């Protein structure tokens, strides 16, 4: 089944979106503080490429050409049980937070 939208993998400008968090994660996993900026940049490139790839795959399997749903991401990650379980867990936590907000 062909998707009705055309998805391209174009290069987006880097804005160091995750540099601080990645540096903390690297330190938590045994790197020195502060980690080498080149190491953080490489991990950030890998992370951004992964996120782009997952979004592109979700757009390709989406039933509506202009809208990606959570179910599309679940479908794309269905073969990775850990990631799928994490999605389900985060969605359940989000629902609980919304319910708690409405109570207060």
Sequence-separated (6 or more) residues with CB below 8 Å from residue 44: 14, 16, 17, 18, 19, 22
Tens-digit pLDDT profile for the chain (104 aa)? Answer: 444 455 555 565 566 889 999 999 999 999 988 899 999 999 999 999 999 999 999 999 988 878 899 999 999 999 999 999 999 999 999 999 999 999 98
Q: Which residue has the tokens 């679940």?
A: 74
Ordered by where they begin, the domains of the chain are 19-103 (1.10.20)
Q: pLDDT value at position 2?
A: 47
CA 88 from centre of chain: 14
pLDDT of 17 reads 85
pLDDT at 11: 60
19-28 and 37-61 helices cross at what angle (nearest 10)? 110
């Amino acid at each position: 089944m062909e998707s009705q939208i055309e998805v391209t993998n174009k290069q987006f400008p880097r804005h160091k979106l995750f540099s601080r968090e990645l540096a903390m994660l690297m330190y938590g996993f045994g790197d020195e503080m502060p980690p080498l900026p080149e190491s953080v940049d490489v991990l950030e490139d890998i992370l951004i490429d992964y996120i782009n790839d997952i979004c592109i795959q979700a757009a390709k399997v989406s039933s509506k050409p202009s809208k990606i749903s959570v179910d599309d991401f679940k479908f794309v990650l269905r073969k990775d049980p850990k990631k799928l379980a994490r999605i389900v867990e985060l969605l359940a936590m989000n629902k609980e937070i919304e319910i708690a907000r409405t109570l207060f």
